[in-house]
């Protein structure tokens, strides 16, 4: 079904707003959760050391992630200083590059501008893409390298096997290897083998010859940094890689072990389009059930995307350790499948009801979030409610206008959350303020040590710009800075002389569970001491000779 000029303009404008949304408030909230602190501090220490090959966190080796993510995050921070804005700006630029690569891949597959545009549109407007584009982690980088590799893999599968294409394929796989070790490489090579096994068996000699060019590209891009690490750290790095590989596969370090865990995760990650994709898939299965294999045999491009989709899904489901963000690598293929299904769809009653249903769910969620979490008495709330209501009267002539309606409501939902959520949780993240105080103290007393009692908060070294020593009990020293909770410090309060420099609320559970945190902040279970507490930044002056003491108020 071809878009009209009006539909094309509406969806293009919506796409542009979504792209601009990636930049919205990226520097107005601090580096705040565990993952962001790890990456941000490693980049800052690279700049401080002038060493861009050895990753360090808190002035100790950080080998858990390969170096490519830090190189991607470095440029703006190197030019203008490492801070929340420069780090997220680099990530947003990577996200835009990922959209471009997805568009190129879809266009290369189907030679259709409309399908390519829709693929990029569904990707940028999906829930997890917006979140990952603003969260300083490595998932966006791996998606970019995987989609880039599939452009060259498709060229190879359709017969374009000149040395340049083979070399570029190997180089792109090398990038994936440098992004997240074996994960992306498994996705790419497994898909290529499943679809190209017959051709490989028929032309073994030619395959071996071409593989040399691919290996050369892979070696030049993917191996030098690993070889550097091996030459510098030897057996210690080999042992680390061994445990990193087998622990990820054989140990359940996340508590999620169901083989069907990612089924429900997919619907959340790719919302709201996951529901639309499911309904379209059911319609097409019903239509082509008797000739499904013949249809896939004729449409090799569709077979490639479907194979990649299921390879990623199954590969991620095998290891015992499972986390929702891991399924983000599926987003590009899901977006292309949705775009292809929409392009060939005909509006019927089920599809129309599906669009109304998705729009209704999003509208209810949008209003509920304002009422439960934010200030529903504001003019913005009434403006959003009015626009949401007005969309129900917009005539839905075909599926593209339905997508536009869903996209507008989803966009308002994103702006609502991103415009309010970090201001709401800010009182529970005083680490930036603590860090700035510590920087000032260290200017006057550079030898003064900084300790954190019981729990290491990863954003502290980033803001304090010094080593944070995590301890289980107070050090036997006379003068140092200590970060602790009121609860942990109670046994020591009567025995030490100290001065309270600052205090902040904190959330005891995982700081990635944002909605649980909002429940706490907005009054639901506010008095639940198992979830919330108070942090203190103290200057410990030494042990008290006699007399009781309480925490200074």
DSSP 8-state class, residue 531: T
Is residue 290 scored above 80 in pLDDT? no
Is residue 526 scored above 70 in pLDDT? no
**159, 48 Cβ separation under 8 angstroms:** no
Is residue 277 scored above 80 in pLDDT? yes
Of the listed ranges 53-62, 349-358, 541-550, the one predicted with least confidence: 541-550
Work out the average pLDDT over 432-457. 89
* DSSP SS3 for 465: coil
Give 290 or 433, the one with higher predicted confidence. Answer: 433
Give 172 or 28, the one with higher predicted confidence. Answer: 172
pTM score of the predicted model: 0.93
CA dist 445 → 45, 215, 460 (Å): 21, 53, 18
Cα of first residue to Cα of last residue in the chain, in angstroms, is 68
**91, 136 Cβ separation under 8 angstroms:** yes
Is residue 193 scored above 80 in pLDDT? yes
Helices 204-222 + 224-233 axis angle, to 10: 60
Tell how strand 532-543 and strand 496-507 pair up.
Answer: antiparallel
State residue 427's pLDDT score.
77
300 half-sphere exposure, CB direction, 13 A CA radius: 13
Question: How much of the chain, in percent, has pLDDT values that exceed 90?
Answer: 56
Is residue 553 scored above 50 in pLDDT? no
- The rounded distance, in Å, linking the Cα atoms of 328 and 128 is 7
Which tokens go with 87? 């780090």
Mean pLDDT score across all residues of the chain = 88
Of the listed ranges 62-76, 97-111, 314-328, 475-489, the one predicted with least confidence: 314-328
**88, 132 Cβ separation under 8 angstroms:** no
Radius of gyration over every alpha carbon of the chain, rounded to an integer in angstroms: 26
The full DSSP string for 172-210 is HHHHHHHHHTHHHHHHHHHHHHHHHHHHHHHTHHHHHHH
Work out the average pLDDT over 443-468. 90
**473, 480 Cβ separation under 8 angstroms:** no
* DSSP SS3 for 57: strand
CA dist 383 → 368, 374, 401 (Å): 15, 14, 21
Q: Name the residue ranges covered by the structural domains of the chain.
A: 10-343, 349-427, 429-543
* 364 CA to centre of own chain: 26
Work out the average pLDDT over 239-266. 74
Largest Cα span, the chain: 87
State residue 33's pLDDT score.
81
pLDDT tens digits, one per residue of 90-128: 999 999 999 999 999 999 999 999 999 999 999 999 999
Most confident of the following: 21-30, 384-393, 413-422: 21-30
Which among 324, 510, 464, 369 has a CA at the least distance from the CA of 30?
Answer: 464
**175, 222 Cβ separation under 8 angstroms:** yes
Vertex 159 angle, CA 154 and 163, to 5°: 90
**355, 405 Cβ separation under 8 angstroms:** yes
- The rounded distance, in Å, linking the Cα atoms of 513 and 545 is 44
Which tokens go with 119? 């693929």
pLDDT tens digits, one per residue of 308-346: 999 999 988 888 777 888 889 999 999 999 999 999 888
Is residue 73 scored above 60 in pLDDT? yes
The alpha helices in 427-552, defined as continuous H runs, are 431-444, 459-464, 486-493, 514-521
pLDDT tens digits, one per residue of 511-521: 767 677 777 76
Question: How much of the chain, in percent, has pLDDT values that exceed 70?
Answer: 93
Is residue 410 scored above 70 in pLDDT? yes
CA dihedral 306, 311, 313, 318 (to 10 degrees): 160
Which among 89, 69, 99 has a CA at the least distance from the CA of 175?
Answer: 69
Of the listed ranges 207-211, 216-220, 231-235, 411-415, the one predicted with least confidence: 207-211
Element (H, E) at 534: strand 532-543
* DSSP SS3 for 278: helix
Which among 423, 433, 468 has a CA at the least distance from the CA of 449?
Answer: 468
- The rounded distance, in Å, linking the Cα atoms of 350 and 356 is 10
């Amino acid at each position: 079904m071809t878009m009209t000029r009006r539909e094309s303009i509406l969806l293009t404008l919506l796409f542009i707003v979504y792209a601009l949304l990636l930049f919205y408030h990226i520097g107005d909230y601090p580096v705040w959760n565990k993952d962001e602190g790890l990456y941000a501090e490693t980049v800052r220490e690279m700049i401080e050391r002038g060493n861009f090959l050895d990753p360090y966190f808190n002035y100790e080796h950080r080998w858990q992630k390969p170096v490519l993510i830090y190189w991607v995050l470095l440029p703006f921070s190197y030019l203008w200083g490492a801070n929340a804005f420069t780090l997220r700006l680099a990530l947003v630029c990577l996200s835009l590059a990922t959209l471009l690569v997805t568009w190129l891949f879809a266009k290369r597959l189907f030679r259709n501008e409309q399908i390519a545009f829709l693929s990029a549109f569904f990707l940028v407007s999906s829930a997890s893409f917006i979140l990952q584009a603003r969260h300083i982690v490595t998932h966006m980088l791996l998606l970019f390298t995987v989609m880039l590799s599939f452009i060259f893999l498709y060229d190879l599968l359709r017969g374009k096997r000149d040395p340049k294409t083979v070399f570029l394929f190997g180089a792109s796989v090398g990038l994936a290897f440098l992004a997240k070790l074996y994960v992306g490489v498994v996705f790419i090579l497994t898909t290529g083998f499943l679809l190209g096994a017959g051709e490989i068996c028929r032309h073994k000699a030619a395959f071996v010859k071409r593989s040399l060019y691919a290996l050369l590209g892979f070696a030049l891009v993917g191996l030098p940094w690993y070889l550097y690490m091996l030459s510098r750290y030897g057996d210690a790095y080999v042992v680390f890689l061994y445990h990193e590989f087998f622990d990820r596969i054989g140990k359940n370090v996340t508590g999620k072990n169901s083989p069907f865990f990612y089924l429900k995760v997919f619907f959340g990650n790719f919302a709201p389009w996951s529901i639309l994709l499911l309904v379209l898939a059911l319609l097409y299965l019903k239509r082509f059930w008797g000739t499904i294999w013949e249809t896939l045999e004729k449409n090799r491009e569709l077979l490639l995307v479907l194979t990649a989709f299921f390879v990623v899904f199954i590969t991620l489901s095998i290891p015992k350790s499972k986390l929702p963000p891991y399924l983000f690598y599926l987003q590009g293929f899901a977006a292309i499948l949705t775009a292809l299904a929409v392009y060939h769809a005909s509006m019927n009653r089920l599809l129309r009801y599906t669009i109304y249903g998705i729009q209704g769910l999003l509208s209810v969620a949008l209003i509920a979030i304002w009422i439960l979490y934010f200030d529903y008495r504001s003019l913005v709330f009434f403006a959003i409610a009015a626009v949401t209501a007005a969309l129900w009267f917009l005539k839905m002539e075909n599926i593209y206008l339905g997508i536009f309606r869903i996209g507008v409501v989803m966009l308002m939902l994103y702006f609502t959350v991103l415009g309010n959520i970090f201001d709401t949780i800010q009182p529970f993240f005083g680490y930036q303020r603590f860090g700035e105080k510590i920087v000032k103290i260290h200017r006057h007393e550079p030898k003064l040590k900084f300790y954190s009692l019981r729990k290491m908060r990863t954003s502290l070294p980033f803001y304090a710009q010094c080593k944070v020593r995590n301890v289980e009990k107070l050090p036997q020293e006379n003068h140092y800075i200590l970060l602790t909770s009121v609860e942990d410090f109670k046994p020591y309060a009567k025995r030490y002389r100290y001065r309270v420099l600052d205090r902040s609320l904190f959330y005891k559970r995982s700081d990635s569970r944002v909605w649980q945190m909002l429940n706490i902040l907005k009054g639901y279970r506010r008095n639940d001491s198992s979830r919330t507490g108070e942090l203190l930044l103290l200057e410990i002056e030494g042990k008290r000779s006699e007399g009781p003491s309480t925490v200074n108020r």
